[in-house]
Amino acid sequence: MTYKIAVIKGDGIGPEIINEGIKVLKKVGEKFSVKFEFNEVLAGGAAIDAVGECLPYETLEVCKNSDAVYLGAVGGPKWDDLKGEERPEKALLKLRKELDLFANIRPVIMYDELKDACPLKDEIVQGGLDIVIVRELTGGIYFGERSYSDEYAWDKMEYSKVEVERIAKKAFEIAGKRNKKVTSIDKSNVLDSSRLWRKTVESMKEEYKDIELNHMYVDNGAMQLVVNPKQFDVILTGNMFGDILSDEGSIITGSLGMLPSASLGEGNLGMYEPVHGSAPDIAGQNKANPIATILSAAMMLKYSFGLMEEGEAVENAVKKALKDGIRSNDIAKKDEKSYGTYEIGDKISKYI
């Protein structure tokens, strides 16, 4: 079988980090006799420059007819003056909506080798961190109605019961394979949409009696992530809250450059991308950390292709590279040698 991957390199450091991810996937193919077909398409600022729109019809069709989408990063100051609907970031929202990828899975893992890069006290993260944030991805304020003028602007935040049920189902299922604990984060003391969220999640608990369920307001949740992160197993939350909390979680682990993500729907098709942005200030300088993108490829192997052994081989290669001191500038110690984007990709490929 040949697995078809739609490749969107995007903007800024996107092409550099995706190239290293593809390098690792090709090594996996050689090692495990797996065939991958890579189809490169445009989205984001690169697509705006080439064809005048952030998500061309051809790109969407290729993605729909692929087994997975592999994305670098989109956006940058070059396109900051464009109107909201024309901006590069709209490509991501449209892809998620059109492919019905409603669940964003973001592991927050702190490797022992990177403990020194964590900004928290040693006693808080002793023994490491392993959290999964399950973020609803196609609803909420990012997809609500909106209006803007120089004098007044508004954004509408809304959720339906069905939208909450299907993302809660994902969180409970993931928790069932881990430590059987879900913390649902909302703002139900203020927002009606959060009241529906909490009520619906609570009702879903009846189907998962072996899962412990806790509720937490988002402001307290943000605080608890830095005060006592080890209390969390699976965090379930909405689109905007999940966006903020997952970035906070990434910094706890040492760097945005370390965290992968998977955007999933009901079937096997998924979109895989690093949590970080396009970092145009270091684009083309061989400075970007490709590990989040490479770990996103590992998630692709597991979630979309069902290739568990192959996915674990990538994860183990990353761990070995870190253990051997292979680090980019963002995670290197002050007086420690740092490695370039391409060197890190080479090293991890060698360890497959």
Give the model's confidence band at 120: pLDDT under 50 very low, under 70 low, under 90 confident, else very high: confident
Whether the domain at 1-105+266-352 and the domain at 119-252 fall into the same CATH topology: yes
User: What is the pLDDT, as a whole number, of residue 330?
Assistant: 83
Catalytic residue among 100, 112, 192, 219: 219
Alpha helical stretches, state H, the chain: 14-32, 45-51, 57-64, 90-98, 122-125, 161-176, 192-204, 218-227, 239-252, 291-303, 308-323, 341-351
User: What is the pLDDT, as a whole number, of residue 81?
Assistant: 83
Hey, what are 306's tokens? Answer: 């069902």
Q: What is the mean pLDDT of the chain?
A: 93
User: What is the pLDDT, as a whole number, of residue 123?
Assistant: 80
The H or E element spanning position 135 is strand 129-136
> Beta strand pairing status for 234-237 and 260-264?
unpaired
Tell me the pLDDT tens digit for each residue of 307-319: 999 999 999 999 9
Tell me the pLDDT tens digit for each residue of 137-158: 999 999 889 999 999 999 999 9
Q: Which residue ranges make up each domain of the chain?
A: 1-105+266-352, 119-252
Place of tokens 């098709």: 269
Task: For residue 132, give the 3-state DSSP assignment.
Answer: strand
d(C-alpha 265, C-alpha 327), whole Å: 33
Reply yes or no on whether 57 is catalytic.
no
Give the residues across from 146 on adjacent strands.
Answer: 155
User: What is the pLDDT, as a whole number, of residue 331?
Assistant: 81
Whether pLDDT at 116 is above 80? no
Reply yes or no on whether 142 is catalytic.
yes
Q: Which amino acid is at 244?
A: I
Reply yes or no on whether 219 is catalytic.
yes
Give the model's confidence band at 253: pLDDT under 50 very low, under 70 low, under 90 confident, else very high: confident
User: What is the pLDDT, as a whole number, of residue 254?
Assistant: 74
What is the architecture of the domain spanning 119-252?
3-Layer(aba) Sandwich (3.40)
Whether pLDDT at 31 is above 80? yes
Catalytic residue among 3, 111, 142, 339: 142
Give the model's confidence band at 170: pLDDT under 50 very low, under 70 low, under 90 confident, else very high: very high
Catalytic residue among 247, 319, 342, 347: 247
Catalytic residue among 170, 187, 287, 302: 187
Radius of gyration of the chain (CA): 20
d(C-alpha 140, C-alpha 130), whole Å: 27
Whether pLDDT at 245 is above 90? yes
Catalytic residue among 67, 243, 330, 346: 243
Percent of the chain with pLDDT over 70: 100
User: What is the pLDDT, as a whole number, of residue 85?
Assistant: 78
User: How many Cβ atoms from other residues are within 10 Å of residue 4's Cβ?
Assistant: 15
pTM attached to this predicted model: 0.88
Q: What is the mean pLDDT of residues 23-27?
A: 98
CATH hierarchy code of domain 1-105+266-352: 3.40.718.10
Q: Return the higher-pLDDT residue of 301 and 143.
A: 301
